[in-house]
Amino acid sequence: MKTIQLKDILAISGKGGLFKFIAQARNGIVVESLEEQKRHVAPATARVNSLEDIAIFTYEEEVPLADIFFMIHEKSEGKEAISHKAPAEDLKSQFKELVPEYDEDRVYISDIKKVFHWYNQLHKHQLLEV
């Protein structure tokens, strides 16, 4: 299995899907879409987040996204997780099983959908570190 550091996988606000960091550019960063495998420059003004820096709020602390991905991997026995297009109640229920103490006031259904969507994208491209 090919693995990649989560710090090199990026979410860009306003752009769907995930991107792999390729290089620093004069006016931003060069990224490659995981789905389309096309490269482009994300401007310096774009809001770019490394998956390594993302965490889920719980009532006690923040749980790193990498830990959530590991929990999903364990629960799904290394297979693809529930689709991000599943009904909201199914997604919430599945997420509650993984992270029972998640803060329901600060973690929205859109966040939960992203977590499952991102996990499945990384799984599809064999980029998970487990």
**pLDDT band (50, 70, 90) for residue 5:** confident
Confidence bin at 130 (pLDDT 50/70/90): low
Q: What integer is the mean pLDDT of 4-19?
A: 89
Q: What angle do CA 18, 20, 21 make, to 5 degrees?
A: 130
Average pLDDT over the chain reads 93
pTM, full prediction: 0.90
The number of helix segments (H) and strand segments (E) in the chain equals: 3, 7
29 close to 23: Cβ distance less than 8 angstroms:
yes
Asked if pLDDT for residue 119 goes beyond 50, the answer is yes
Question: For 41-84, what is each residue's pLDDT tens digit?
Answer: 999 999 999 999 999 999 999 999 999 999 999 999 999 999 99
pLDDT at 4: 54
Residue type, 100: P
Percent pLDDT > 70 in the chain is: 95
Q: What one-character DSSP code corresponds to residue 105?
A: T
- Mean pLDDT, range 96-105, rounded to an integer: 96
Alpha-carbon dihedral of residues 57, 46, 116, 123, nearest 10 degrees?
-130
Q: Measuring CA to CA, how many Å separate 76 from each of 72, 89, 122, 123?
A: 6, 18, 14, 11
Widest Cα–Cα separation across the chain = 45
